[in-house]
Structure 1
Amino acid sequence: MSRQLRAPRFDPRAGFHAEGKDRGPSVPQGLLKAARSSGQLNLAGRNLGEVPPCVWRINVDIPEEANQNLSFSSTERWWEQTDLTKLILSSNQLQSLCDDLRLLPALTVLDIHDNQLTALPSAIRELGNLQKLNVSHNKLQTLPEEVTSLRSLRTLHLQHNELARLPAGLERLASLEDLDLSNNRLTAVPADVALLPSLLRLSLSSNQLKSLPPEMSRMKKLKHLDCDDNLLETVPSDVGSMESLELLYLRRNKLRVLPDFFSCKLLKELHLAENQIQTLGAEHLQHLQAILVLDLRGNKLQAVPEEIALLQSLERLDLSNNDISSLPCLLGNLHLKFLALEGNPLRTIRREIIAKGTQEVLKYLRSKIQDDGTTQNDSVPVTAMTLPSECRVNTHAMVTLKLLDYSDKQATLIPDDIFDATRSTIITTVNFSKNHLCEIPKRIVELKETVSDVNLSFNKLSFISQEFGLLQKLTFLDLRNNFLSSLPEEMSSLTKLQTINLCFNRFRVMPAVLYHIPTLEAVLISNNQVGSIDPQKVKLMENLSTLDLQNNDLLQIPPELGNCVQLRTLLLDGNPFRVPRATILTKGTAAVQEYLRGRIPA
């Protein structure tokens, strides 16, 4: 339909309205012309205090160049131009939006995050085609009920506002898949949210929730639920019947007990750190068949049940900062890539074994099974590490474990046929440890679409190539026992990296690139020559919970490191500083940080 037929719907005179200098802030005519052609207009970061009227009227007013009698080619005729479908107004100074918003009924994306908005206009109900609405990082105290009329909406981001309640009727958003309500002032979640039929992702973190509605169990499609940083004391038992749930975040609450996850057979990550959980029973674990990550750090656990050996898919287990005095030997049967035990009063495992890392702990536990009379063949599943050494590559492990293992071969390079064997197989784990590699095999980038775990420890690497930054699915990287003194800036693209092990290398400073990887949870850099640490940059690493700086050259510990409250495990033993003294260090991370905060100059 032409512009001439549509214009009267909004304003009978719209087609003849000329833009004057008195109509608010201007927008370059080139941008408007491009928007009429592409259907997209980006006005982010222009310090706008209000939206120029010409933006709202872009589809109803005659363009200024047409009023100036400029000639149009067949592709530039203004009455045949594209309706605006995407409008970005983020990072400005907008305090309100006017009802002229209804003049853009074709919008599918409206991004107004990072402004000063306190309310949304009721005219927003006219945007019947809207699929994505981002109003995060504003000052909204209420959400108009008209939002529930947006039946095509698939993404609604409201995080970092001042919302204390939500409007009734949210269940009418039948197409909504992603709802982010984090960092608001919600004290309750209306049952309407739990009735959203298409919701896949729900974030409620950093609110003031004391409970969740029992109707949550009806969310049969929900895959990602984030309830971090609230006041939850219990979780509805029916949460265990959310059969599609894959990621569950309940960190930093007040939980004492857990529900039975009897139907959560797809659950891959369960994050329960920093609660008050005292008991972990078999009933909590036996149905977690697909679990990959189990985070229980900072609780009050005194024991780990033997049934944890049932979690054969488990890759990361964090038990740090609990009250655990012993571990079940059957834990050694798991194929863990990361096991955190710091901050526990363990009596059955020597500290030097724990300091050697996950694989040494698991090996020790397996040896205890044999001491108890159980043969290794009965207790340890066959993996690539237990097959005959003459095999060049274990194709069974590649298919079943998605593991490419060419470790302990004393090789100076990885043969091409090893990589050739992966062409028709998905590989998530690479183990090239205990060889004589002087550089990382270039063909490892062929696995960039799938690989998440790389072990290059115990080699002779003196540098990391820039191409390594292409492994953007990487979550775990082991580079210990090499000759490294720096890391390339390109590693900042490893935006999913959670753990990096740099122990026993030649670093003199903390690699600068690590400060720019926001997902890092554990940095292990003991037994190097690190002489300084920047506490201000460490503080910005919001997810960093473990920092191992043992056996380095730190002459002093900056007091500001005490303000890095996200750190749950800070290891400083074996450095030449005088304070804090050993008596403080033995009391644990919390005592060390409290001491450091007390030394910050007033």
Structure 2
Amino acid sequence: MSRLKRIAGQDPRAGFKAAGRDCGTSVPQGLLKAARKSGQLNLSGRNLSEVPQCVWRINVDIPEEANQNLSFGATERWWEQTDLTKLIISNNKLQSLTDDLRLLPALTVLDIHDNQLTSLPSAIRELENLQKLNVSHNKLKILPEEITNLRNLKCLYLQHNELTCISEGFEQLSNLEDLDLSNNRLTTVPASFSSLSSLVRLNLSSNQLKSLPAEINRMKRLKHLDCNSNLLETIPPELAGMESLELLYLRRNKLRFLPEFPSCSLLKELHVGENQIEMLEAEHLKHLNSILVLDLRDNKLKSVPDEITLLQSLERLDLSNNDISSLPYSLGNLHLKFLALEGNPLRTIRREIINKGTQEVLKYLRSKIKDDGPSQSESAAETAMTLPSESRVNIHAIITLKILDYSDKQATLIPDEVFNAVKSNIITSINFSKNQLCEIPKRFKMLPEVLYRIFTLETILISNNQVGSVDPQKMKMMENLTTLDLQNNDLLQIPPELGNCVNLRLPPFHFEPSIVFLTLYICCSLSIRTLLLDGNPFRVPRAAILIKGTAAILEYLRDRIPT
């Protein structure tokens, strides 16, 4: 049908109307002329409070240039020029659209995002050729039922509105492939959504959803499902039947368990950070054969199963800000490009190794597979408790170097013969690191005042144990202490008084056997030059403070002392 016949059929008065009279300067005639040739008109960001009539009637009225020219070249045959198929009127101040929208039945793309629309006209049903509709960033509270008449619609963007429910009959949009309903006020997703069988991408993030319908598994073509920032406590097991699913986002919900995916062999990314997941088991992992990204940050995980090595395709693993104290050494066999561990009370990996990056951590874990097998650690613990005292303690080091060294024994307590070996010698350094010490022996619960006056110690090394507390008050007399290593223990908090101890100069005392262990649980005086606290589960001071060194740590602690 020629353009002239279409005009006659639509509006018999069209030939007597002059175009452009209501456009003013908001829509230049040159822009309209170009739109008639290209079929596309972009009026974005023109501060429009309403759509000019010349836009709605661009396919109806005779163009102004037709009244100014009696002869037309091939490029000016307005009656042969194309109908408008793409209209962009985004980033304006539109509060409503009129029913004149029906005058643009050839539209395939209508973009009206970032306006102030509270509703859509019922005439939208006339746009039967529409394939893409963008009404995001408006103020829609409800969708007209007529929108379900847009059977050719493939992309529908409704994010950042005020929708509280989905229109009845929405499932009739059977050709819809991309649907964005994020940042609305939805509380439920109707089960009828499952009839959107062509849907490939569905974004439901930042709503108020407490559950997902079990019927969602009927979306056999869905590849991308985003449910971030909702109120989900559980995921229906039927979700596992979504055989095409590749990307699943469930961050910032209230999940306590990781969903299982027995059928999701194509899943490439699983994002479940910022939930309340406490356990990660082999059942959760064994079918994730194609997973590339696994985001578990900010949960309550306490451990990582050895079965993590089943994820041979895994490239990015985020375990930051959990309660993980150790990692399986087999993790080092994965070909990870990124591994995040910050914010965990790890005791098996030193912070300096973590700070060197993913590849150094993996290299360290691989080395421990060879060096620290179960049989070795068990035999070491057994030997430490059965050898005679002469082989446990270096007497020469005690007498000559003033060092008591009982490190790397995997011991849960210090035997009496170790203390007895010291006898009355003065020592300046003790090293009980790389053991499994977890508490002060009972005989040290009640201590005479004289033990608080031991100040001869200069170095205390007790890293890689299970020390759970320190008492800064007991260090007030230890003015010679310069190094205190408490790395990789179980300290849940560092008392602020640690940074503000007071030196009291007292005469020297000879070492007594019952003194040694006490000093392991007391903090520093102002003479400390090296304080090492990495690898403990305390939340403060943060890693950024620890990296700055001892002076920064002590200053930070002093600032936190209550006034």
In 2, distance between residues paired with 1:157 and 1:580? 50
Rounded Cα–Cα distance in structure 2 between residues aligned with 1:580 and 1:117: 55
Q: Which residue of 1 aligns with 2:270?
A: 270
Asked if the contact 1:261/1:284 (under 8 Å) is kept, the reply is yes
Per-residue deviation at 1:170?
Answer: 1.5
Aligned to 1:255: 255
Tell me, yes or no, if the aligned pair for 1:25 and 1:48 is still in contact at 8 Å: no
Change in CA separation of 1:371 and 1:112 when aligned onto 2, cut-off 3 Å: same
Q: Distance in 1 between matches of 2:331 and 2:319?
A: 12
Distance in 2 separating the partners of 1:164 and 1:6: 41
SS in 1 for 2:234: coil
Q: Provide the C-alpha distance between the structure 2 equivalents of 1:126 and 1:581, rounded to a whole number of angstroms.
A: 72
**Structure-1 residue corresponding to 2:114:** 114
Q: Which amino acid aligns with 2:54?
A: C
Q: How far 1:373 moved relative to its partner?
A: 5.4
2:149 matched to 1:155? no
Matched residues in 2 for 1:70 and 1:208: separation?
A: 63
Distance 1:579 1:203 in 2: 46
Q: Please, which runs of 5 or more residues in structure 2 have no aligned partner?
A: 375-541
The residue number in structure 1 matching 2:547 is: 574
Residue type matched to 2:130 in 1? L
What is the CA distance between 1:304 and its match in structure 2? 0.7
For the pair 1:284 / 2:284, whether they are aligned, the reply is yes
Counterpart of 1:268, as a letter, is K
Shift of residue 202 of structure 1? 0.5
1:361 aligns to what SS in structure 2?
helix
Q: Mark the CA change 1:312 to 1:23 in structure 2 (over 3 Å): closer, same or farther.
A: closer
Q: TM-score, normalised by structure 1?
A: 0.63
Residue 174 (structure 1) aligns with: 174
How many Å separate the matches in 1 of 2:316 and 2:95? 45
Tell me how far 1:2 sits from its aligned partner: 1.1
Change (3 A) 1:58 1:188: same
1:319 equivalent in structure 2: 319
CA distance in 1, matches of 2:252, 2:362: 29
Higher relative contact order (CA 8 A, sep 6+): 2
Deviation, structure 1 residue 124? 0.6
The residue aligned with 2:92 is: 92
Residues in 1 aligned to 2:172 and 2:323: alpha-carbon distance in whole angstroms: 47
Q: CA deviation at 1:570?
A: 7.2
**CA contact 2:41–2:88 (8 Å) conserved in 1:** yes
Cα distance per residue 1:156-185 (max 9 Å; x no partner): 000111111110112111111100011111
Distance in 1 (CA, whole Å) between partners of 2:140 and 2:289 is 42
Q: How many residues align?
A: 393
1:67 shift after superposition:
1.8
What is the aligned partner in structure 1 of residue 54 from structure 2? 54
Residue type matched to 1:111 in 2? D
Residue aligning to 1:495: none
Within a 5 Å distance, the mapping from 1:469-548 to structure 2 comes to none
Cα distance in 2 between the residues matched to 1:268 and 1:189: 25
Letter in 2 for 1:291: I
- In the alignment, does 2:111 pair up with 1:138? no
Distance change in 2, residues 1:83/1:364 (3 Å): same
Partner of 2:190: 190
Q: Map 1:367-446 onto structure 2 (within 5 A).
A: 367-372=367-372
Question: Secondary structure of the residue that 2:48 maps to in structure 1?
Answer: coil
**Contact kept in structure 1, 2:257 and 2:279, CA below 8 Å:** yes
Q: Residues 26 and 48 of structure 2 are in contact (CA less than 8 Å); yes or no, is this contact kept in structure 1?
A: no
How far apart in 1 are the matches of 2:231 and 2:215? 19
Per-residue deviation at 1:3?
1.9
Give the partner amino acid of 2:309. Answer: A
What is aligned with 2:203? 203
Distance 1:288 1:22, change over 3 A: closer
Alpha-carbon distance change, 65 to 147 in structure 1, aligned in 2, over 3 angstroms: same
- Letter of the 1:43 counterpart: L
Q: Where does the alignment leave 5 or more consecutive residues of structure 1 unmatched?
A: 375-568, 586-591, 596-602
Note closer, same or farther for the CA distance 1:570–1:111 as it changes in structure 2 (3 Å cut): farther
CA contact (8 A) 1:137 1:159 kept: yes
Instruction: Give the distance between the partners of 1:584 and 1:196, measured in 2 at CA.
Output: 58
- Residues 249 and 78 of structure 1: is their aligned pair in 2 closer, same or farther, counting only changes over 3 Å? same
Describe the shift of the 1:335–1:86 C-alpha distance in structure 2 as closer, same or farther (beyond 3 A).
same
- Is 2:94 aligned against 1:129? no
* CA drift at 1:191: 1.7
Alpha-carbon displacement from aligned partner over 1:453-474 (angstroms, at most 9, x marks no partner): xxxxxxxxxxxxxxxxxxxxxx
Q: SS of the residue aligned with 1:193? A: helix
Separation of aligned partners in 2, 1:258 and 1:221: 23
The offset of 1:20, in angstroms, is 6.4
Shift of 1:348: 1.4
Shift of 1:582: 6.4
CA distance in 1, matches of 2:369, 2:550: 41
How far apart, CA to CA, are the structure 2 residues paired with 1:580 and 1:185?
46
1:580–1:34: structure 2 CA closer, same or farther, 3 Å change rule?
farther
Superposition TM-score, scaled by structure 2 size: 0.67
Contact 2:22 2:54 in 1 (8 A): no
Give the partner amino acid of 2:202. Answer: L
Q: Hey, what does 1:336 align to over in structure 2?
A: 336
1:15 matched residue in structure 2: 15
Percent of aligned positions that are identical: 74
- In the aligned structure 2, how far is the partner of 1:579 from the partner of 1:326? 28
How has the CA–CA distance of structure 1 residues 576 and 325 changed in structure 2, closer, same or farther, with 3 Å as cutoff? Answer: closer
Residue number in structure 1 paired with 2:406: none
Deviation at 1:75, TM superposition (A): 2.7
Deviation at residue 12 of structure 1 after TM alignment: 2.2
Q: Distance in 1 between matches of 2:554 and 2:124?
A: 62
Contact 1:25 1:52 in 2 (8 A): no
**Are the equivalent residues in 2 in contact too, given 1:102–1:123 (CA < 8 A)?**
yes
Contact 2:545-2:553 at 8 Å conserved across structures:
no
The alpha-carbon distance between structure 1 residues 584 and 4, as it changes in their structure 2 partners (threshold 3 A), is farther
Retained in 1: the 8 A contact 2:22–2:52? no
Q: CA RMSD in A?
A: 2.2
User: Aligned AA for 1:266?
Assistant: L
In the alignment, is the contact (CA less than 8 A) between 2:101 and 2:124 conserved in 1? yes
How far the C-alpha of 1:87 sits from its partner, in A, is: 0.4
Aligned partners of 2:21, 2:353: CA distance in 1, in Å? 75
Amino acid at match of 1:311: L
Deviation sequence 1:66-117 (CA, Å, 0-9, x none): 1223532123211100110000000000000000101111111100000000
The residue identity in structure 2 corresponding to 1:278 is: E
Kindly provide the CA deviation profile for residues 302-358 of structure 1, in whole angstroms up to 9, marking residues without a partner as x. 111111100000011000000011111111110011111111111111222212211
Q: Which aligned pairs between 1:543-562 and structure 2 lie closer than 5 A?
A: none
Contact 2:242–2:264 (CA under 8 A) maintained in structure 1? yes
2:544 is aligned with what amino acid? L
One-letter amino acid of the counterpart of residue 574, structure 1: I
Name the amino acid aligned to 2:212. L
Match of 1:212 in 2: 212
Give the aligned partner of residue 74 of structure 2.
74
* Distance of 2:246 and 2:557 partners within structure 1: 41
Decide whether the 8 Å contact of 2:44 with 2:91 is kept in 1.
yes
Q: Secondary structure at the match of 2:317?
A: strand
Give the counterpart letter for 1:118 in structure 2.
Answer: T
Determine if the alignment matches structure 1 residue 346 to structure 2 residue 349: no
Tell whether the 8 Å contact from 1:160 to 1:183 is kept in structure 2 after alignment. Answer: yes
